[in-house]
Amino acid sequence: MEASSEQSQAMLARQPIFDHQQRVIAYEVLYGADHHLDAMAQANPEAESSSELLLHAYTSISDQGEVKRVPAFIQVSPRMILEGSVPALPAKQIVLCIRLTEPKNMELLKAIHQMVKDGYRFALTDFEFSPDFDTALKLAKIVKVDVADKTTEQLVELAGQLAPYKTTLMASNISQFDTLESCIESGYKLFQGSFLSKPKAVKGRNVNANQIAMMQLIQELQKPNTTPEKLEDLIIRDPILTYKLLRIVNSAAYSLVRQVESVAEAVVLLGMEQVRKWASLIAMSANSDKPEELTRILLTRGHMCEMIAETQKMPNPSSFFMVGMMSGLHAMLDIDQATLLEQLPLGEDTKAALAKGEGPMGILLNQVLAYENGDWDLLPSDFDISLYEAAYRHSLKWTKDAMQAMYE
């Protein structure tokens, strides 16, 4: 990918870290290109005046209606620690991740020890056990293990080897629920990976009537000639949607001088775009069995797709929001995507974008997914780095604010 160093440093994304109940307890901040911590301090300096403010943008979430900030896991190089060039960061809000290729380098271990005394926490990444790590393991708070190719027996063995040390085991690169369950049973405490995007798939499972009704509403919202009366007719079929929509329009977010009691009036006051987004949010949050993070991911993805489509003056940008949001709906409903697309009333262009990545919506969706996952090399060489970075950060904030308004 051809981009200047300064531009590359603007690429930041986040990946959630969970506890055993699939609650977000931290985010790993991913960097573009050189994976250098200076990116945290230098990215978009006009938008954020310091690395701490930038961290706040990437680690603030609305969780069950409460706005909170979780720690950030940040990759650092041994060279930066040895040189003392780690930017000043709030020690309580970060975990420094380091890959030790020389675990018996005493100069490096002394530098880490001093930073630990100063209040910093370290995680050892890409870890494979060896007695050479004895001193490092006494300093580390967390050991991050790539479990993608490990058997259950290997997971148990490694947990046993690390038991004498006061470290927390973190399993990364989990792609399936059975791997997650094996890690939990083996004693791992923290978890990271794409397992949230994979449904506990039951092929052929039907989408229930309420879910189809919600999708029909969202489809109607895409039509340029729809009316508040048509939307009201669809909304009032679902008491939960009716209640939540009225609660939102009467919330502090809209500061209305009088109570709104009619769905049609709520539609007029909010406008089609807002109703579409709120209906989508309510639909996403309807499944209480799913972690709230999945809703956050999909809403952020949808909003990012829409923002980029608007900026690039693509037709009907609201359809890009739908494609982004629906790219993980099958995981929300625990159904394989092919079956879901057969059952839901979607246009052929939307189905082609979701199933095959085809058309303008499919191409943009795949690029947003690459950015979101930190797969920078999958992005085209001529893509607009500053646009994607700004859209991603704005979408994180929009999602936090939107989910907070659900509980007002």
- 249-304 pLDDT, tens digit per residue, is 777 667 777 777 788 888 888 887 777 777 777 766 666 567 889 889 998 999 99
How far from the centroid of its chain's Cα atoms is residue 130's Cα?
33
pLDDT in tens, 212-232: 676 677 677 767 788 888 888
- At 231 the pLDDT is 81
**Three-class SS of residue 50?**
coil
102: tokens are 């020389």
Query: For tokens 């991911």, what's the residue?
Result: 297
pLDDT in tens, 303-335: 999 999 999 999 888 789 889 988 988 887 777
Helix (H) or strand (E) holding 110: helix 106-117
- The whole model's pTM is what? 0.83
Q: Cα–Cα distance between 374 and 73 in angstroms, integer? A: 14
**Three-class SS of residue 123?**
strand
pLDDT in tens, 75-121: 988 988 998 888 778 888 999 999 999 999 999 999 999 999 999 99
Helix (H) or strand (E) holding 9: none
How does DSSP classify residue 175? -
- At 4 the pLDDT is 37
Of residues 401 and 155, more confidence is placed in: 155
How much helix, strand and coil, in percent to the nearest 5, is found in the chain? 50, 15, 35
Which backbone phi and psi does 137 adopt, to 5 degrees? -65, -25
44: tokens are 């978009």
pLDDT at 8 over 50: no
